[in-house]
Amino acid sequence: METSLQIGNIAGIPVKIHWSFLLVIPLFAWIIGSQIVLTTELIRILFGVPIDATLITAGFNPYILGTVVALGLFFGVFVHEVAHSLIAKAKGIKIHGITLLILGGVSQMEEVVPDPKVELPMALAGPLTSLAIGIICSALVYVFPVLPDPAVAGVLIFTFGYLGILNVLLFAFNLLPAFPMDGGRVLRAWLARRMPLSRATQIAADVGKGFAVLFGIFGFLMLNPILILIAFFIYIGANQEATFLRYYVLLQDVTVADAMSNSLVTVEPETPLPRLLELMYETKHLGFPVVERGNLVGIVTLSDIHKVSPIDREAMQVRDVMTRDPITLPPSAPLIDALRIMTTHGIGRIPVVDDGDLVGIVTRTDVLRVMELREKA
């Protein structure tokens, strides 16, 4: 099921909104609105300017302003991610899209082994953009007091003062040296100039996990679910980054041809499902390419069979449950691409096709076997 809605594109980069983003906006609006008196006083103290709170606190205005500030914050997050993406694109990295999520935004980039000379400016671009937005919003706070209507000026001072503070905090938070945040990537880029990339990644990931543990402890002590969620996000992200680079190093220079199985067992679209189950028991394979007149037309797996009730299976054939037009790879494709596709699409095997001919199949087990052998070598 598609969980994100594309709302446009910028510089050829698709921009999407995840469903979780639609939940967090009203939540943020409520939090900001319910604390508006305290926040107004804090802005007055920090910026040293008088604030007329007449309109700010009237009626439903606190929650309307809360919504405006929340949308403004996420617009800043969006610009932050655009800055990352534009630098990456200029450095030749393919950008698949930008998605706004519950915890902010993320740029979906082509997974490549990071070059420290590219990663450093790319990682710094986002936080520096947030800092620039924060400085501009903060500077505008000192312009609004000259407006003739003090109440309108108070609303603008509150809105831009709040956004100024949030964007400066976003700058500082993102520069914490904790993977997968920008500061973690800055740390790795700096370390990678002094040691192997794999070692630099592991250190940066370990630092990220340390920050995650601290956030988690503070979150539990303060009964703050947002801190706990951030801790979980950082820990998982740090672990994934280290794992990806480990896989990449182990599978470097290995092609699909090096790992695939050449001894193919195929089935036809007319094969009855009971016979398919027997074949799985006989061969110990959980999936087969489906071939018709020598052409690959699909792939069928045990999970496809499980979607059908045992009674219905008796009258069904492979063609009724198979996945048509499956993802394929050529023998020359890097094996890391096969692993990435399997992980992204949640599949366990990929047919290997050379000049239109089915020549083999590569499974997740094949990939893991190669990794194990190279790790022990």
Residue numbers annotated as active site: 81
Nearest-angstrom CA–CA distance, 270 and 251: 38
Nearest-angstrom CA–CA distance, 186 and 230: 19
Kindly give the residue spans of alpha helices, DSSP state H, lying in the chain: 19-34, 36-47, 61-90, 116-141, 150-174, 182-192, 197-221, 225-250, 256-259, 273-283, 302-306, 310-313, 335-345, 364-376
Kindly report the backbone phi and psi dihedral angles of residue 366, in degrees, each rounded to the nearest multiple of 5, phi listed first.
Answer: -60, -45
Give yes or no for a contact between 230 and 204, defined as CB atoms under 8 angstroms apart: no
Exposure b/e, 29-47, CB count within 10 A at least 16 = b:
beebbeebeebbeebbeeb
Give yes or no for a contact between 260 and 361, defined as CB atoms under 8 angstroms apart: yes
